[in-house]
């Protein structure tokens, strides 16, 4: 009888462990961080940059902003609807790796390891105070064996807006 309870208890614990592992979800091979290039308070009309850094785990890559037609899903950076800032120019930064991708039979561009992109923005918020610039990053991470489905992460960049003309 004691053996049965021990066996049932062990099996129950094993099921709980498997359930917890199953809930972890897909791997997250890319970590994203965003910050304002200028740490000082900004007036409306001021142009600045959001520094977006990606940290890609070894063995993985993230496709870059520019891809040929029929190729992989490119990286997309956008500001969510807000009253604080708007994109003000082309994103630039770390030069992507150019590689002939046999999966697509095309030359693709991607990032590996650590990289940084600069997103030019213009502050437009008419009232002063602490504000948040909401940023979305849509990307696809792949290894040499598999590609994860495209994913969008949402980041918040704090900014201090001061009165000005």
| Domain parsing of the chain, residue ranges | 29-161
For 74-105, write each residue's pLDDT tens digit.
999 999 999 999 999 999 999 999 999 888 89
Whether 73 has a pLDDT exceeding 60, the answer reads: yes
pLDDT of residue 88: 96
Band of residue 1 on the pLDDT scale cut at 50, 70, 90 = low
**Which tokens in the block code for residue 50?**
């959001």
The SS3 assignment for 27 reads coil
Can you name the residues that pair with 31 across neighbouring β-strands? 55
CA nearest to 50, candidates 148, 134, 131: 134
Backbone φ, ψ for residue 42 (5° rounding): -120, 145
What pLDDT, in 10s, does the model give residues 5-22? 444 454 444 444 444 444
What is the fold of 29-161?
Answer: Immunoglobulin-like (2.60.40)
From the list 34, 127, 134, 141, the residue with the least C-alpha distance to 87 is: 134
Q: How long is the chain?
A: 165
Distance linking the first and last C-alpha atoms of the chain = 82
What pLDDT score was predicted for residue 90?
97
């Amino acid at each position: 009888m004691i053996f049965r309870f021990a066996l049932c208890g062990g099996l129950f614990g094993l099921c709980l462990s498997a359930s917890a592992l199953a809930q972890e979800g897909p791997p997250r091979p890319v970590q994203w961080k965003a910050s304002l290039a200028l740490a000082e308070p900004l007036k409306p009309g001021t142009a600045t940059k959001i520094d977006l850094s990606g940290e890609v785990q070894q063995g993985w890559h993230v496709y870059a902003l520019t891809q040929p037609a029929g190729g992989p899903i490119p990286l997309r950076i956008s500001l969510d609807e807000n009253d604080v800032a708007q994109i003000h120019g082309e994103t630039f930064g770390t030069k992507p790796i150019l590689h002939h991708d046999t999966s697509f039979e095309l030359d693709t561009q991607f990032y590996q390891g650590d990289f940084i992109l600069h997103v030019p923005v213009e502050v437009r918020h008419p009232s002063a105070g602490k504000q948040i610039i909401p940023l979305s990053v849509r990307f696809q991470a792949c290894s040499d064996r598999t590609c994860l489905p495209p994913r969008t992460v949402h980041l918040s960049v704090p900014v201090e807006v001061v009165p000005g003309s």
